[in-house]
Structure 1
């Protein structure tokens, strides 16, 4: 049976609530989807997500992925600098974050553990019909290899702030840049294994592992 799962960095409590509020502030009268909530769809930075077979053992995988950060100088938190609010086709609003080498190491470790458990038989018809016309070349290569748009050189750390009709999303990005204050730093203190919901949302936490845990 195919399971749609992901690995993510979760923000510490105050920044989690700040991200929930940021979605509301940017959307205004527009309810961006999926709606972020501290006890529901959690704000997060995806490391990797996709369809997995039953051969995947999330607890063992998360332990190996976490161990890849040993010796990195990481303690119990990692702070990432905001690169601003960006529009991503089609209709997405992202809070873009910096991509330090540590995150590249983390994603490579995740791919090394998870790739062999990807379930490529999940829905061949849906995969063939995937619209990649507005993907970059790197994003297309990433998707064709892993079933996920943002890996390797295409990796783009971000907090998804939601999706709406394309023209509306473009207008929200334009107006937010002049009227919404974005926190400069975002701090993350946990790794999670999660069940994907609507549009890849962090719908349910399967496992959490504090950063820096031996």
Structure 2
């Protein structure tokens, strides 16, 4: 049973997505990342954020996530990201053919507004562990605690813009900066 894509520092860097979406050419990543980082610092985020994991969860269809807590500071970080990025979203590139029938009402509203299902009330901080056939993913989620020992706390210390690969993988870092004030 193998998840795809495989987590790896050189091809699918484990990460917590604050927001992902298609952007227009008007987006200047360095400017946006500076705006987000400044807003994060003003919200009280410092050099790192420690997040507790809440377990391995299944997400339709075939996804396995390491779910993380959702503290107010992380919500503020997402709000800062949305404020900086909203006007640069390429709404014409949203996948309107995507099956959203299994999305919650909040996820549907998020997807329709931002092209990404996990914003606002639907924000679900997580590390994507990978994707598998439906039955395999369900079995792995049910038996995760018996299969692997995961740290209870994860530390994040930077913000980045990245190229999204297959299944939302963190394929290549374009730009990064420390999480705290510069």
Match 2:24 to one of 30, 44, 53: 53
Q: CA-to-partner distance for each residue in 1:115-139, whole Å, 9 max, x for gaps?
A: 111112226xxx3321001001100
Q: Following TM superposition, by how much is the alpha carbon of 1:73 offset from its aligned partner in structure 2, in angstroms?
A: 3.9
Match 2:8 to one of 37, 40, 59: 37
The 5 A counterparts of 1:106-185 are 106-122=77-93, 127-185=95-153
Unpaired runs of 5+ residues, structure 1, are 1-29
Contact 2:44 2:73 (C-alpha < 8 Å) held by counterparts: no
Q: Following TM superposition, by how much is the alpha carbon of 1:198 offset from its aligned partner in structure 2, in angstroms?
A: 0.5
Alignment-derived partner of residue 12 in structure 1: none
Report the TM-score when normalising by structure 1. Answer: 0.82
Give the whole-Å Cα distance in 1 for the aligned partners of 2:168 and 2:10. Answer: 16
Q: Structure 1 residue runs of 4+, over 3 Å off?
A: 71-74
Unpaired runs of 5+ residues, structure 2, are none
Give the whole-Å Cα distance in 2 for the aligned partners of 1:75 and 1:144. Answer: 32
Contact 2:4 2:130 (C-alpha < 8 Å) held by counterparts: yes
The structure richer in strand per residue is: 1
Give the whole-Å Cα distance in 2 for the aligned partners of 1:121 and 1:39. Answer: 31
Alignment-derived partner of residue 61 in structure 2: 90
* Total equivalences in the alignment: 182
Give the whole-Å Cα distance in 2 for the aligned partners of 1:81 and 1:106. Answer: 17
Report the TM-score when normalising by structure 2. Answer: 0.96
1:208 pairs with 2:151: no
